[in-house]
Amino acid sequence: MNRKPALGQVSDFEIRLLRLFRTVAECGGFSAAEGVLGISRSAISLQMGDLEKRLGIRLCQRGRAGFSLTDEGREVLRASHTLLAALEDFRGEVNLLHRQLRGELSIGIVNNLVTLPRMRITQALRALSQQGPDVRVNIGMMTPSDIETGLLDGQLHAGVVPLIQPLSGLDYLPLYDERSLLYCSREHPLFGRADSAIADADLTDADAVAPIYRLPPEAQAQQQRLHATATATDREGIAFLILTGRYIGYLPDHFAAGWVAQDMLRPLLPQQYRYDVPLALATRKGRRANLVLESFLRELEATG
């Protein structure tokens, strides 16, 4: 592909194409982006080709070997994140002048929080939508590290994370303490025993599933008491393994409540085998004024 000597003025059309490129990159290919963008793979391919011509750069490889970004494509993606975040900052500042809630609110949330009894995030989003029906809310289910990265580079406005190792570049608003208990499934030998018939050795000798994500020291100490013979990257993976009947493991009590109600899971010695993890809403320090985000934070604080 022939390279242009320089890129001219960036128009609204190029910005729309860059948004499409960002979505394709985040989805990992044209096919996966079809449902998100609401257009066909052929239309995506045409628009990607148009963007490459306008930039004079090959952005990605696509074919039988699969989809992958070129080195130049990764740099354009990084630059597009910066550009789109700056545009959103500009829109937020203009909204402050008009005192109108318009624009986007992008939130990253760790998995399996929707079952929390105190739905502070849900309540705040409901109030925000009533104030600003034109606000576009984007929620991504992400790992804590991805949320922190997204906040620091401007891709996210806010994120719900475990408050374990606070970062100096972020502000935190405490939300809840999430309690986790030790569970086994109905198929496990310990399920039918009364708590009084279960000894510590029964639990420390049983096969257990351990998480491979960050935990506070209290939780780490509880996990280290168990005989871990399997691991999982998230709570849903832990639940899958516990439900096999072979493993015991810790789950948030609100997440496990549905299975407990169906008599599929039970907590084991809950007064001894338990820990709490504080959850907080994080935002970037020194962020530019954004009426949508500030309104959301105000509504969230009102739910406390």
Q: Where are the domains of the chain?
A: 12-81, 83-175+279-302, 177-277
- What is the structure's pLDDT at 99? 64
Q: What percent of the chain has pLDDT over 70?
A: 95
3-7, 19-23, 115-119, 144-148, range with the lowest pLDDT: 3-7
- What is the structure's pLDDT at 200? 94
Domains 83-175+279-302 and 177-277 share a fold: yes
Identity of residue 49: G
Q: What percent of the chain has pLDDT over 90?
A: 57
- What is the structure's pLDDT at 38? 87
- What is the structure's pLDDT at 93? 74
Pick the more confident residue, 112 or 129: 129
Give the domain 12-81 fold: Arc Repressor Mutant, subunit A (1.10.10)
With a cut of 50, say whether residue 1 has pLDDT above it: no
With a cut of 70, say whether residue 97 has pLDDT above it: no
Mean pLDDT computed over 90-104: 72
- With residues binned 3-state (H G I as helix, E B as strand, rest as coil), the percentages for the chain, rounded to 5, are 45, 25, 35
Domain at 177-277: CATH code: 3.40.190.290
Q: What is the pLDDT of residues 221-280, one digit of tens each?
A: 999 999 999 999 889 999 999 999 999 999 999 999 999 999 999 999 999 999 999 999
- The domain 83-175+279-302 is placed in CATH, from the list 3.30.365.10, 1.10.10.10, 3.40.50.300, 3.40.190.10, at 3.40.190.10
Given pLDDT bands bounded at 50, 70 and 90, which one contains residue 8? low
Residue 89, both tokens: 């900052």
Of 225, 190, 223, 228, which Cα lies nearest the Cα of 208?
Answer: 228
Residue 124, both tokens: 């705040």
Q: What is the pLDDT of residues 16-40, one digit of tens each?
A: 899 999 999 989 888 888 888 888 9
**CB contact at 8 A, 190 and 204:** no
Pick the more confident residue, 101 or 293: 293
C-alpha–C-alpha distance, residues 276 and 222, integer Å: 11
Backbone φ, ψ for residue 175 (5° rounding): -115, -60
C-alpha–C-alpha distance, residues 195 and 198, integer Å: 5
With tokens 């109600």, the residue in question is: 261
In residues, how long is the chain?
A: 304
